[in-house]
């Protein structure tokens, strides 16, 4: 794939534009994008996206209603497809996976791939995607791999924690990279796969090296070969992992021509490390309402502390013991922050919101700008600055960052795909 013009990309489930920011820095031209939040009267993510990138090529409507044939031709399709049905924030018995209300949006991606047939696909989701649904671990991801195989794609995936690679936030996500197989089984396929899959040999890496540093595997060779089961989407899981209590998919893998190889890895990174302290704003610009009143500090401490309590079920009256471990309080400044969640905003005490201790001993929450910095966005990205009729709140801005991704990861992957496309084909 030699480019004489800037390679084209379209973006699904665009959010506030994290994919686009990273890909444009990497050299891609994002020509079309879609963002729609169901059951919301105010489309804040779409408002931010429009404010930053304009209306050209942007569609704010349900992707299910978008005619795929009308989408522009493109080399790369990307999307952080909605993860609520896989999220670790959801109780296990409520995790519906690919059949859930938002999990089913995978089939919209599949529909567009069938129509537009791009050379590359890059998707992002929570790492739990590899092990859903709870009653048949791994079935959802197997179905996704089967769909890609049916469309003649090679698929690589890697679970990446941004904090392991120098970024200031511990944000663990699975990145899925698919690319078209050479139809004639020519040198292109052999170059991508290196015949013997050295991707999984200790000290080596993929043709599409997602991050600039290597990793250690837990074996010198391929440690799991789940072969020849991607024969049809409808029967992908039958007879192999019919009812599986553990997922066969580890944190790195490749699926190629009906075969799947997967391995566990440990990141090895020796570059500079950003910490939570490094992204904090100057104390002189922090609004007073981000500081926690002393009389409310006890409630914060309780919620973040360990517990073992007798409780009574409201409906049945049955007594049960509730227990949970402690969350670091206040948050450590000398390492990457915990993951931003959608409930980060607002003044009410919470177990999950970040709280830091300042030099004068006071405690405060993180500001929207600090949350943007943790994800690698420019300051005030979500503020709708200059739009006086758009009154977005700090809580809404925090929600948007809880749904966003780490921009630098996308930039690195985007550069890797461009480099590979210039040398492999």
Comparing C-alpha atoms, which of 364, 2, 298 is closest to residue 353?
A: 364
Rounded to 5°, angle at Cα 327 from 322 and 332: 175
For residue 417, which phi and psi values (nearest 5 degrees)? -65, -40
CB atoms within 10 A of CB 392: 20
Are the beta carbons of 310 and 321 closer than 8 angstroms? yes
Q: What is the dihedral of CA 279, 337, 205, 149, to 10 degrees?
A: -110
Bond before 315 cis per omega within 30 degrees:
no
Residue 83 annotated as catalytic = yes
Residues 6+ apart with CB under 8 A from 109: 12, 77, 79, 81, 121, 123
The residue annotated as part of the active site, out of 9, 64, 83, 387, is 83
Calpha distance 251→158 (Å, rounded): 6
Measured distance CA(40)–CA(50) in Å, rounded: 17
CA distance 74 to 325: 48
Taking the C-alpha atoms of residue 42 and residue 144, their distance in angstroms, rounded to an integer, is 32
Asked if residue 133 has a cis previous peptide bond (ω within 30° of 0), the answer is yes
Q: Tell me the C-alpha distance between 230 and 255, whole Å.
A: 9
DSSP string, 359-413: TTS-EEEPPHHHHHHHTTPPTTTTS-TT-TT----HHHHHHHHHT---HHHHHHH
Encode 311-341: b = buried (16+ Cβ within 10 Å), e = exposed. eeeeeeeeeeeeeeeebebbbeeebbbbbbb
The torsion defined by the Cα of 389, 395, 401 and 404, in degrees rounded to 10, comes to -80
Say which residues have a Cβ less than 8 Å from residue 315's Cβ, sequence separation at least 6.
none
* 396 vs 346: CA distance, rounded Å: 9
Which residues are known catalytic residues?
Answer: 83
């Amino acid at each position: 794939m030699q480019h004489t013009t800037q390679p084209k990309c379209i973006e699904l489930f665009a959010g506030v534009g994290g994919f686009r920011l990273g890909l444009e820095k990497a050299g891609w031209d994002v020509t079309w994008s879609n963002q729609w939040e169901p059951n919301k009267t105010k489309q804040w993510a779409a408002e931010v996206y429009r404010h930053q990138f304009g209306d050209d090529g942007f569609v704010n409507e349900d992707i299910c209603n978008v005619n795929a044939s009308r989408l522009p031709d493109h080399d790369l399709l990307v999307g952080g497809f909605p993860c609520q049905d896989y999220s670790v924030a959801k109780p296990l018995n409520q995790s519906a996976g690919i059949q859930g209300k938002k999990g089913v949006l995978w089939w919209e991606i599949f529909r567009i791939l069938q129509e537009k047939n791009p050379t590359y696909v890059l998707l992002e989701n929570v790492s739990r995607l590899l092990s859903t649904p709870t009653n048949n671990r791994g079935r959802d991801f197997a179905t996704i791999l089967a769909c890609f195989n049916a469309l003649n794609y090679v698929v690589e995936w890697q679970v990446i924690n941004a904090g392991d690679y120098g970024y200031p936030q511990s944000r663990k996500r699975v990145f899925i990279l698919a690319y078209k197989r050479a139809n004639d089984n020519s040198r292109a396929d052999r170059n991508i796969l290196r015949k013997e899959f050295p991707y999984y040999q200790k000290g080596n890496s993929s043709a599409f090296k997602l991050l600039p540093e290597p990793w250690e595997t837990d074996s010198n060779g391929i440690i799991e070969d789940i072969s020849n089961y991607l024969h049809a989407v409808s029967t992908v899981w039958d007879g192999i992992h019919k009812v599986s209590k553990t997922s066969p998919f580890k944190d790195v893998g490749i699926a190629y021509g009906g075969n799947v190889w997967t391995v566990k890895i440990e990141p090895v990174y020796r570059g500079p490390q950003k910490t939570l302290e490094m992204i904090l704003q100057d104390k002189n610009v922090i609004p007073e309402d981000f500081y926690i009143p002393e009389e409310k500090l006890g409630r914060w401490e309780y919620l973040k502390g360990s517990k073992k309590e007798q409780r009574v079920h409201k409906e049945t009256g049955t007594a049960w013991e509730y227990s949970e471990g402690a969350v670091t309080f206040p948050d450590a400044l000398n390492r990457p922050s915990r993951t931003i969640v959608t409930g980060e905003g607002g003044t009410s005490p919470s177990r999950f919101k970040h709280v830091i201790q300042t030099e004068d001993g006071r405690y405060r929450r993180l500001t929207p700008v600090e949350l943007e910095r943790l994800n690698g966005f420019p300051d005030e990205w979500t503020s709708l600055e200059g739009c006086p009729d758009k009154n977005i709140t700090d809580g809404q801005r925090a929600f948007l960052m809880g749904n966003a991704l780490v921009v630098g990861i996308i930039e690195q992957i985007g550069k890797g795909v461009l480099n590979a496309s210039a040398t492999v084909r």
